[in-house]
């Protein structure tokens, strides 16, 4: 760390902005390599001011992050990388440790030197994630992992996987799971892309055959992986935040150019995500160009979708403000995720109404060169990724409304005795 840090209690937005401007004036240099720049940013503690002082932050309140991000964006300064390292792994490590893994992984997440993917879902365990059967057994100084994961976005270019494995088959279902940091570049890890109905291949199936992870690569504690995974999933439902795009200078100097290349590589698997969200932005224009802007049924469908989007935006804003006051993401993230599914479905229905049977055409002659078709086949993913709509409703019912849990007899019996998919 190379500058004095103001006391959190005396902070005001102006003070934060002034201190940052002074520091950027002395330090921001777009001709540095991206790595050199980010190392400078991290060692100054401006990269993540709300993180604890011990872990590259300033221990400042969460609202200071927004001030810092806005000022850096205003000046066109490159910040921390996008992706699941910053979005999911870092908050999980900060919450659960242990310290040696925080030391090992946080710096390379902050600089973008190491990237991550999520290895949670399995062919027989998606919604029923706690039913996972990928196993890890300790062997000397290593875990030996066998099993299969699926739907793993970006696994093809990740350095590490957030891996959930079963380490105790005699413990009840939710208590025999461990959360490992798995090195992806090894012979025991086979990553195969899955081609989707919309033609893209953004996720993969991952086969683990005697794959190895160091014994101390356990995030949280052995057997406590379910609780640790809840932190990751809560951050994943915190919609909007970690897929936000970033703009870079059109004639970039070195740090910009490298950051743009990094972002382009990162966003390749997400190229269809705007279609997945329903492309509400195209509705009015499509209604006008097809001469249907005066049709009362079309008008109603478009207005309904725009209204839903507006309300969903307010829900997102409430979540953003809650974050700025330092609240950890909780079950209310499920409300936002459900709202986005509703917007996407409503937009897809409105697009079909406007495009009529030509909504089924793909290729360059189709409406918007096939974009409408891509919307229709991509929207269902919105209500599946990160937990399906039904699972979000279960979370809201049980954790917010306090309704009884779904009946089950699997909570206290050893996992090995439970009936499960083979």
- Binding marks (x or -) toward ligand FAD, 108..147, rule CB under 6 A? ----------xxxx----xx--------------------
Which lies closer to ligand FAD via its Cβ, residue 127 or residue 289? 127
Quickly tell me which residue has 């025991």 as its tokens. 188
Give least dist CB 380 to ligand FAD, A. 8
Q: Calculate Rg over the CA atoms of the chain.
A: 23
Distance in angstroms (rounded) separating the CA atoms of residues 269 and 202: 4
Distance in angstroms (rounded) separating the CA atoms of residues 196 and 397: 32
Give least dist CB 351 to ligand FAD, A. 19
Which lies closer to ligand FAD via its Cβ, residue 385 or residue 396? 385
Distances from the Cα of 409 to the Cα of 45, 87, 168, 230, 417, angstroms: 49, 34, 18, 21, 11
- Whether 142 is catalytic: no
In the list 37, 46, 160, 203, the residue contacting ligand FAD (rule: CB under 6 A) is: 203
Tell whether residue 315 is a contact of ligand FAD (CB under 6 A): no
- What would the two tokens of residue 204 be? 């993969």
Give least dist CB 151 to ligand FAD, A. 3
Tell whether residue 153 is a contact of ligand FAD (CB under 6 A): yes
Give least dist CB 205 to ligand FAD, A. 11
CB-nearest residue to ligand FAD: 126
Cβ-contact 140, 378 below 8 angstroms: no
How many residues touch ligand FAD under the rule CB under 6 A: the total is: 19
Beta bridge partners of 257: none
Q: What SS3 state is found at 148?
A: strand
Where b means 16+ CB within 10 Å and e means fewer, 380-414 reads: ebbbebbbebebbebbbbeeeeeeeeeeeebeeee
Which lies closer to ligand FAD via its Cβ, residue 44 or residue 275? 275
Give least dist CB 12 to ligand FAD, A. 40
75-114: contacts with ligand FAD (CB under 6 A): none
- Binding marks (x or -) toward ligand FAD, 162..201, rule CB under 6 A? ----------------------------------------
- Binding marks (x or -) toward ligand FAD, 373..392, rule CB under 6 A? --------x--xx-xx-xx-
- Cis check for the bond before 98: say yes or no (omega within 30 of 0): yes
Give least dist CB 387 to ligand FAD, A. 5
Dihedral sign (CA 378, 383, 388, 390): negative
Cβ-contact 96, 228 below 8 angstroms: yes
Catalytic residue from among 122, 236, 332, 374: 236
Cβ-contact 347, 355 below 8 angstroms: no
Tell whether residue 148 is a contact of ligand FAD (CB under 6 A): no
Active site residues: 236
């Amino acid at each position: 760390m190379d500058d004095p840090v103001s006391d959190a209690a005396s902070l005001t937005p102006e003070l934060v902005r002034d201190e940052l401007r002074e520091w950027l004036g002395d330090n921001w240099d777009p001709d540095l390599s991206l790595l050199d720049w980010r190392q400078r940013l991290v060692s100054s503690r401006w990269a993540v001011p709300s993180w604890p002082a011990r872990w590259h932050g300033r221990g400042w309140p969460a609202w200071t992050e927004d001030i810092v991000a806005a000022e850096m964006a205003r000046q066109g300064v490159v910040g921390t990388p996008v992706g699941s390292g910053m979005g999911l792994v870092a908050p999980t490590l900060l919450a659960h440790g242990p310290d040696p893994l925080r030391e090992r992984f946080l710096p390379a997440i902050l600089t973008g030197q190491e990237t991550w993917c999520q290895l949670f879902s399995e062919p027989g365990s998606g919604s029923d994630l706690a039913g996972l059967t990928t196993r890890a057994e300790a062997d000397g100084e290593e875990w030996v992992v066998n099993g299969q994961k699926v739907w793993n976005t970006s696994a093809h270019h990740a350095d590490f996987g957030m891996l959930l494995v079963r380490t105790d088959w005699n413990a009840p279902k939710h208590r025999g799971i461990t959360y490992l940091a798995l090195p992806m570049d090894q012979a025991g890890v086979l990553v195969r892309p899955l081609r989707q109905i919309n033609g893209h291949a953004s996720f993969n199936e991952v086969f683990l055959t005697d794959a190895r992870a160091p014994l101390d690569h356990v995030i949280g504690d052995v057997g406590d992986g379910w609780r640790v995974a809840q932190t990751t999933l809560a951050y994943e439902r915190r919609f909007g935040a970690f897929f936000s795009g970033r703009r870079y200078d059109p004639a970039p100097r070195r740090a910009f150019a490298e950051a743009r290349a990094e972002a382009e590589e990162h966003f390749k698997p997400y190229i269809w995500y705007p279609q997945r969200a329903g492309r509400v932005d195209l509705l009015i224009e499509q209604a006008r160009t097809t001469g249907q802007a005066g049709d009362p049924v079309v008008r109603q469908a478009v207005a309904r979708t725009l209204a839903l989007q507006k309300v969903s935006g307010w829900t997102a804003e409430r979540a953003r403000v809650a974050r700025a006051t330092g609240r950890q993401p909780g079950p209310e993230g499920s409300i936002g995720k459900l709202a986005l599914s509703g917007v996407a479905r409503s937009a897809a229905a409105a697009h079909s109404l406007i495009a009529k049977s030509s909504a089924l055409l793909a290729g360059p002659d189709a409406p918007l060169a096939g974009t409408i078709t891509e919307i229709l086949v991509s929207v269902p993913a919105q209500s599946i990724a990160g937990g399906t709509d039904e699972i979000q409703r279960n979370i809201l019912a049980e954790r917010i409304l306090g309704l009884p849990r779904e009946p089950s007899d699997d909570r206290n019996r050893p996992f090995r005795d439970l009936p499960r998919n083979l």
